[in-house]
Structure 1
Amino acid sequence: MPRIHCPEALAGGQSLALPPGAARHVQVLRLQPGDGLTLFDGRGGEYAATVERMGRSEVQVRVGAHDPVEREAPREVHLAVGMPANERMDWLVEKAAELGAASIQPLLTAHGVLRLAGERAQKKQAHWQAVAVAACEQCGRNRVPPVHAVQPLDAWLAGLGAPPAGRLLLGFSPDARPLAQAAGTGPVLVLGGPEGGLNAQEEAAARACGFQTVTLGSRVLRAETAPLAALAGLLALAS
């Protein structure tokens, strides 16, 4: 049965005109009155629903019973990444949402190829959030991870404050510890660099903010692969 994200708060028994994005999704799927679908609003659980009416641009549905099912990961893992270029960031966001990332923070770094600011950065953020929504529709997640606004690394580090979670920096420094040894058990924030990695000043700034360097092994992984490998490893350790 199709799963569709509806950003408006849902309640069992209501008749609802779907917002434009969700309505377009139903139309693309060529659903007809009487067809069933599953709706989720990101606040937990999901709702059975039935298409009541299909208009030219409007889709009316009847919301049914709420199922409180949760499919979240066994621990919170937040990703902060120096943005890889082109479609690689799309791929990273999609797979991070599927695997269970709690949030995704795109960062501007010294070696990063992708340079975003102003309206272009806002449009990219909205695009990546839509990628995360689509991934959750596909994989069964009922809580959509936020993709935060693009920030320069130094500004983001300055705004972190006291650590609410463990902080891990992906790198190859001599004192890097294996991921399994540094993982801990609670929420964790993973910082990864872009294609060229973080420079020495950026690594020092991250360490000053409480990040400890961890290694994923002797192979050099792509910028979009390393955070996902760390995410998968951390969730496997928590299972």
Structure 2
Amino acid sequence: MRIPRIYHPETIIGLGELPLSDDASGHIGRVLRMTIGQDVLLFDGSGAEFPATIASVSKKNVTVELHNRIERSVESPLDLHLGQVISRGDKMEFTIQKAVELGVNIITPLISERCGVKLNSERFDKKLQQWQKIAIAACEQCGRNIVPQIRPLMQLEQWCAEDYDGLKLNLHPRAKYSINTLPEPVNKVRLLIGPEGGLSDEEIQMTEQYKFEETLLGPRVLRTETAGLSAITALQVRFGDLG
């Protein structure tokens, strides 16, 4: 049986007994219904993981006994920053979950001209918390010990204008070059994925002004959630740790 991996939001210092956070306690006690003596594997985002045994369980609180600290990294050598224009429904959640599993380091939700999602600040704050929890759950599932950052919402041009010392890519179905023809070596990529209706002509010109290279995945036009994950996979195969 697979030992559950649980995220502990505060840095773990030292071994011995450790009371878990409310979220972690609720997950262990109410969702997994684990009992005293069962094993768990904690991680705090520092790159290490901590084998532990449940020492006490109540409806609201769980305490574990930490055994040791193990330095273990499954991070890709490719530093990948995804700029994703917000998509409708649960597509954005799906994109975040799978992007984290595929090794993305940072995700920035974007607003563009043809973005079909309208969020006020209060609704976005709730969405941001929800998306970060999805990223944490994806790390718990896939074995990552460093949790990717979900950044605050940004306008497309604001994000494109940020200083960046890596390769900047924009998917375009009529681009001349594919990911397989990109120059090597590449260890940092900022990847822009547009909305379901695509970027406008003016936005495409804007990305060119900020030195984004146009690239394509193949002859077919992909949906926004398919395009992003396909591009991440292709980049990880070419420059990262998938193969």
Alignment TM class, shorter chain as reference: over 0.9
Matched, 1:43 2:46: yes
| TM-superposed deviation, 1:156 | 2.1
TM-score calculated relative to the size of structure 1: 0.95
Residues 106 and 151 in structure 1, CA contact (< 8 A), matched pair in contact too: yes
Deviations along 1:100-142, one digit per CA (max 9) or x if unpaired, are: 1111111011111112230111111110110111111011111
Moved more, 85-94 or 113-122: 113-122
Matched with 2:177 is 177
What is residue 66 of structure 2 aligned with on the other side? Answer: 63
Q: Alignment partner of 2:237: what SS?
A: helix
Tell me which residue corresponds to 2:212. 211
* SS of equivalent residue, structure 1 residue 235: helix
Tell me, yes or no, if structure 1 residue 26 matches structure 2 residue 12: no
In 1, are the aligned partners of 2:19 and 2:62 still within 8 Å (CA)?
yes
Q: Relative to structure 1, is the Cα distance of residues 176 and 192 closer, same or farther in structure 2, using a 3 angstrom cutoff? A: farther
**Matching residue of 1:236:** 237
In the TM superposition, residue 60 of structure 1 has moved relative to its aligned partner by 0.9
For the residue of structure 2 that corresponds to 1:11, the secondary structure is coil
Superposition pairs for residues 43-192 of structure 1, below 5 Å? Answer: 43-158=46-161, 160-161=162-163, 163-173=164-174, 175-182=175-182, 184=184, 185-192=186-193
Separation in structure 2 between the aligned mates of residue 225 and residue 73 of structure 1, nearest angstrom: 21
| Cα distance in 1, alignment partners of residues 8 and 227 from structure 2 | 32
8 A contact 1:37–1:50 mirrored in 2 = yes
Partner of 2:15: 13
How far the C-alpha of 1:30 sits from its partner, in A, is 0.8
Which structure 1 segments of 5+ residues have no match? none
**Contact between 1:16 and 1:61, CA under 8 Å: does it hold in 2?**
yes
- What's the C-alpha RMSD, in Å, of the aligned pairs? 1.3
Deviations 1:179-222 (A, max 9, x none): 12226422101001010011111111111111010000111111
For 1:187, the aligned partner's letter is: K
TM (norm. structure 2) is 0.93
Aligned length: 236
Return 5+ residue gaps in structure 2 as ranges: none
Residues 12 and 64, structure 1, Cα contact 8 Å, conserved in 2: no
